[in-house]
């Protein structure tokens, strides 16, 4: 009985010490919310972070898994890395447009994908992926430029489209874009 008494007292003291440190104030950074900085898993930094702007991001387009033949599917990832000291957020889908001269096609959002808000701290990255079906040479989907913008940012970024003609689908192109995902997911 003597050996269990000190163990029970130690466990009780540890439990009381942890309870005493708990705080309902998300700004104190202590207690049960210390790991996230806020209540219910909400990061104080995320709550304070504004929308990511293209001017504060390093952008890498590709490398692509290009569709080699008509009817094949290709993927083009775009990686966004926060280069600023503060955090910023990405929420939803990027707006993606494919261009050929004065013709433009808006790329549709992947219907089965569920977007979630991501907070990017300095040097953290997120990606989105454009998936497309290769069309026949000489088809209407002969895009030469990819343009995208981010929710909450008025700027846009362009890149050369060198991955072949995109198949037509309805009045648009057979292409979709995913929501933002943490890089590596």
Which CATH number does the domain housing residue 86 bear? 2.60.40
Indicate if 59 and 37 belong to the same structural domain: no
Indicate if 29 and 58 belong to the same structural domain: no
Indicate if 111 and 131 belong to the same structural domain: yes
Indicate if 8 and 95 belong to the same structural domain: no
Quick one: pLDDT at residue 1? 44
What residues make up the domain containing 24? 4-45
Indicate if 169 and 139 belong to the same structural domain: yes
Mean of the pLDDT values across residues 125-142?
Answer: 93
Span 7-24, pLDDT tens digits: 333 333 333 333 333 333
Mean of the pLDDT values across residues 95-110?
Answer: 94
Indicate if 100 and 112 belong to the same structural domain: yes
Span 68-84, pLDDT tens digits: 999 999 999 999 999 99
Mean of the pLDDT values across residues 124-147?
Answer: 93
Indicate if 8 and 29 belong to the same structural domain: yes
How many domains, in total, are found in the chain?
Answer: 2
87 token code pair: 């955090």
Indicate if 142 and 53 belong to the same structural domain: yes
Number of residues that this document lists for the chain: 185
Span 144-175, pLDDT tens digits: 999 999 999 989 999 999 999 999 998 899 99
Indicate if 106 and 39 belong to the same structural domain: no
Q: Are 165 and 137 in contact (CB under 8 A)?
A: yes
Indicate if 172 and 84 belong to the same structural domain: yes
35 token code pair: 């790991």
Mean pLDDT score of the chain, rounded to an integer?
A: 79
**Sign of the dihedral defined by the CA atoms of residues 85, 88, 93, 99, in that order:** negative
Of the candidate ranges 16-20, 127-131, 133-137, 145-149, the one whose mean pLDDT is the lowest:
16-20
Indicate if 14 and 95 belong to the same structural domain: no
Indicate if 22 and 59 belong to the same structural domain: no
Q: 37: pLDDT confidence band, cut at 50, 70 and 90?
A: very low
């Amino acid at each position: 009985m003597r050996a269990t008494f000190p163990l029970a007292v130690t466990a009780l003291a540890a439990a009381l010490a942890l309870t005493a440190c708990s705080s309902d104030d998300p700004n104190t950074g202590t207690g049960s919310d210390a790991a996230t900085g806020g209540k219910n898993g909400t990061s104080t930094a995320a709550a304070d972070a504004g929308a990511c702007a293209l001017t504060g991001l390093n952008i890498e387009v590709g490398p692509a898994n290009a569709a080699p033949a008509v009817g094949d599917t290709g993927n083009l990832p775009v990686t966004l890395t926060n280069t600023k000291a503060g955090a910023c957020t990405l929420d939803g889908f990027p707006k993606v447009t494919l261009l050929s001269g004065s013709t433009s096609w808006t790329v549709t959002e992947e219907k089965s994908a569920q977007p979630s808000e991501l907070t990017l701290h300095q040097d953290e990255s997120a990606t989105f992926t454009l998936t497309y079906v290769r069309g026949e040479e000489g088809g209407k989907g002969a895009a030469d430029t990819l343009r995208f913008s981010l929710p909450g940012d008025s700027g846009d970024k362009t890149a050369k489209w060198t991955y072949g003609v995109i198949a037509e689908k309805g009045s648009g192109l057979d292409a979709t874009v995913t929501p933002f995902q943490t890089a590596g997911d």
